[in-house]
Chains A and B, each alone.
Chain A
Amino acid sequence: EAQVTQNPRYLITVTGKKLTVTCSQNMNHEYMSWYRQDPGLGLRQIYYSMNVEVTDKGDVPEGYKVSRKEKRNFPLILESPSPNQTSLYFCASSLWQGTDTQYFGPGTRLTVL
């Protein structure tokens, strides 16, 4: 089944404790992206990647890192999480860079205490 998977789905952590949210797609998509969703703000793009080893900042990249060492995986890294990073996070992928239907993962609800 074609899908985007994220892990974990739920995470409660404390300020400053490094964490990684994994994202994987099995559709051989070139383009992958991370978004955060906050009430009243819609979805905002954090980082995106147009291909392996090619990443770029979205609208709200501060406090996040990403890497794209393989086409299928695009992990989101929070080196020192803070409470303002409490949010619902989505990973997405599409065949080509942006100008194509995007498929979303199930979301990761992160709480930073």
Chain B
Amino acid sequence: GIQVEQSPPDLILQEGANSTLRCNFSDSVNNLQWFHQNPWGQLINLFYIPSGTKQNGRLSATTVATERYSLLYISSSQTTDSGVYFCAVERLGTASKLTFGTGTRLQVTL
């Protein structure tokens, strides 16, 4: 199956700092999503981004499908950004099966 690797596995930031999270995948995809799992366990969809660039407030994401990676940018981080960020992909030609990476755990401190 497709392999999904996220880096870094852990990240500690001071409030106000910027960060870049990376997702590498081993095969062509037709679906890529970024999720945030908050400290209470809730999973929130951040972006549906199989290719191109999207922005939503302080967050933006870029997927370069031909080079098999995606980046999530967090600017001016806040303590509410803490949690685990997951990348999930659906391999091209497979039906309806999202494969998740193991996540990047982010802690934003005051």
Q: Pick the contact of B102: A41, A45, A58 (CB < 8 A).
A: A41
Binds A, one of B40-48, B56-64, B68-76: B40-48
Roughly how many angstroms separate A36 CA and B86 CA in the complex, as a whole number?
A: 14
If A98-B90, A102-B98 touch, does A42 touch B31 (CB 8 Å cutoff)?
Answer: no
Contact B100 A98 (CB under 8 A): no
Roughly how many angstroms separate A99 CA and B30 CA in the complex, as a whole number?
A: 7
Q: A42-B101, A98-B98 are in contact. List 11 more A-B contacts (CB 8 A).
A: A42-B103, A43-B88, A43-B100, A44-B100, A45-B97, A48-B97, A98-B95, A101-B33, A101-B48, A102-B33, A104-B45
Which B residues are within 8 Å of any A CB, using their own CB?
1, 30-31, 33, 35, 41-45, 48, 50, 86, 88, 90, 95-103
Which A residues are within 8 Å of any B CB, using their own CB?
31, 33, 35, 40-45, 48, 50, 56, 58-59, 88, 90, 92, 97-104, 106-107
